[in-house]
């Protein structure tokens, strides 16, 4: 997708590709994937992501039809970030050296009117990490996606002595009110992953019930689905709520299909990528399970 197309999408929220109000959620999920795949040039996603996740994030973006660029040097950001279709920031292996580049990239994305997505990995692991996540939140991400524990810590605003690390100690549904409050406070979409993936803009709440529990046994699947959200938001930047729910559902469907051939987490990782690459309309329309949460 070239810049002209991107700007037209921003100015005209109701395009043929995303006239989603009249479409079912399942159709919407498919439309987003199709839009990523069929863009005139693949949506370019700058990823400042953790060292564990880089390979899976890049491969998930490629298999969905997007183009990943793991460019995180602060020297390159003023020149490179304005050219991307979306920015992805993930604090999983945060150090003091990386934080200025993350903030700079967020600021340049804002100036360039590019959507950006934040993954607050293990936000409650330390006071340093939580402060960094809250500072990034104040810069105005388009979407924040975390697991239940991460979203609860951002809402409570204090590091938690019991916080274990990157894995969640909570159900996503424990964090619905926290997610709504964060969405209203920071004016962003908040997604909470889990058995049900929750998405809210502070008013509306939907749940996507796709995926398989074994996705939790592959490191960085959460990081990868946040990257997919960035790719979906890149193609429909005026509709981040819909794009986020669609990405979570599509990733979950790829997990379900991958699980049919997998013998464990190692082969699920491979089959997940294959399934995302070959996902077709019939599978998405049959399997997408997105509904309002009251």
Ligand X SMILES: Nc1ncnc2c1ncn2[C@@H]1O[C@H](COP(=O)(O)OP(=O)(O)OP(=O)(O)O)[C@@H](O)[C@H]1O
Backbone angles phi, psi at 247, to 5 degrees: -65, -45
| SS3 of residue 13 by DSSP | coil
Instruction: Write out the binding residues for Mg ion, residues 91-150 only, by CB under 5 A.
Output: 121
Instruction: For residues 143 and 119, give the distance between their C-alpha atoms in angstroms, rounded to a whole number.
Output: 9
Beta strand ranges found along 155-236 (DSSP E):
189-193, 197-200, 205-208
CB 51 within 8 A of CB 10: no
Among 89, 105, 144, 166, binds ligand Cc1ncsc1CCO (CB under 6 A): 166
* Nearest alpha-carbon partner for 92 in 139, 146, 148: 146
Among 14, 135, 195, 281, binds ligand X (CB under 6 A): 195
In angstroms, what is the minimal distance from the CB of 152 to ligand X? Answer: 13
Residue 222 as a binder of ligand X (CB under 6 A): the answer is yes
Instruction: Write out the binding residues for Mg ion, residues 216-255 only, by CB under 5 A.
Output: 222
Residue 120 as a binder of ligand Cc1ncsc1CCO (CB under 6 A): the answer is no
Structure-token pair, residue 250:
């599509």
Residue 90 as a binder of ligand X (CB under 6 A): the answer is no
Of the candidate spans 12-20, 109-117, 210-218, 235-243, the one that interacts with ligand X by CB under 6 A turns out to be 210-218
Among 39, 46, 50, 249, binds ligand Cc1ncsc1CCO (CB under 6 A): 50
Among 52, 159, 214, 293, binds ligand Cc1ncsc1CCO (CB under 6 A): 52
* Nearest alpha-carbon partner for 210 in 261, 272, 262: 272
Report the interface residues with Mg ion, using CB under 5 A. 121, 222
């Amino acid at each position: 997708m070239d810049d002209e197309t991107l700007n037209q999408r921003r100015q005209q929220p109701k395009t043929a590709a995303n006239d989603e109000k009249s479409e079912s959620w399942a159709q919407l999920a498919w439309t987003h994937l199709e839009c990523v795949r069929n863009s005139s040039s693949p949506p370019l996603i700058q990823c400042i992501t953790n060292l564990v996740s880089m390979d899976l994030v890049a491969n998930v973006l490629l298999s969905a039809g997007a183009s990943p660029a793991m460019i995180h040097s602060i020297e390159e950001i003023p020149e490179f970030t304005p050219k991307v279709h979306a920015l992805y920031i993930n604090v999983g292996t945060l150090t003091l050296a990386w934080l200025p580049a993350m903030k700079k990239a967020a600021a340049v994305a804002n100036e360039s009117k590019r959507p950006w997505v934040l993954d607050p990995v293990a936000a409650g692991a330390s006071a340093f990490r939580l402060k960094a996540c809250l500072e990034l939140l104040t810069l105005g991400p388009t979407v924040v996606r975390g697991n239940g524990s991460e979203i609860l810590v951002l809402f409570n605003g204090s590091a938690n002595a019991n916080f274990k690390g990157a894995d969640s100690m909570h159900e996503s549904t424990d964090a619905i009110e926290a997610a709504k409050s964060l969405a209203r406070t920071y004016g962003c979409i908040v997604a909470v992953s889990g058995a049900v993936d929750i998405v809210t803009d502070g008013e509306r709440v939907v749940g996507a019930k796709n995926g398989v529990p074994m996705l939790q046994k592959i490191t960085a699947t959460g990081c990868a689905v946040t990257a997919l959200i960035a790719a979906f938001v890149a193609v429909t930047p005026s509709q981040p709520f819909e794009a986020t729910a669609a990405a979570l559902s599509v990733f979950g469907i790829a997990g379900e299909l991958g699980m049919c051939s997998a013998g464990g987490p190692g082969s699920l990782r491979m089959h997940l990528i294959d399934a995302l690459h070959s996902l077709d309309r019939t599978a998405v329309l049959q399997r997408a399970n997105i509904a309002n949460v009251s």
